[in-house]
Amino acid sequence: MGLLRFDERPAPGWFLALRTFRSDGTGVVTPVWSVELDGRRYVLTPARSGKARRVRAEPRVETADADFAGTALGPWSAGRASIVDGPAAGRARRALRRKYGLQYVVFRATLLLGRRRRAGGPGVVLVIDPVR
């Protein structure tokens, strides 16, 4: 897939609305890139981002296909998220790079070199398992 224009409707699965929960139970929706591998969703985020902090405190999440702004385009699904590293994280990063191409490379460079690293820390991979 090529670069996505801001006024263009994304293909299904291009953006994911990720709802994480604060300690008081309030949901916070964030649009993220994700990739599905073996029935699990993987998301890359800065280690000190709000969503990473919320997942550490409360692993319950909800997801839905979304537009660029994070507006759900379909039904929400319940899941449990955690932070992974090692081979699973490497596999997820490679799959995200394949799916998003140059946009992923630019995002990673921002995490590694830009202000996001100082503010948000290095990138971590969240894995989301569906709750049935």
Q: State pLDDT tens for residues 87-126.
A: 999 999 999 889 888 777 776 666 666 655 556 666 789 9
111 part of a folded domain: yes
pLDDT value of position 112: 67
**How many separate domains does the chain show?**
1
CATH of the domain at 34: 2.30.110.10
6 part of a folded domain: no
Which DSSP letter does residue 72 get?
B
pLDDT value of position 68: 81
At residue 132 the predicted structure's pLDDT band, cuts being 50, 70 and 90, is: confident
Edge-to-edge strands of the sheet including 77-84? 27-32, 15-21, 60-66, 77-84, 123-130, 40-46, 35-37
90 part of a folded domain: yes
Check the CA dihedral 71-73-75-77 and report its sign: negative
pLDDT value of position 46: 84
pLDDT value of position 60: 98
Q: State pLDDT tens for residues 3-39.
A: 545 445 555 567 899 999 999 999 999 999 899 999 9
69 part of a folded domain: yes
49 part of a folded domain: yes
Return the bridge partners of 122, or none. none
4 part of a folded domain: no
At residue 56 the predicted structure's pLDDT band, cuts being 50, 70 and 90, is: very high
Range of the structural domain that residue 38 is part of: 15-130
8 part of a folded domain: no
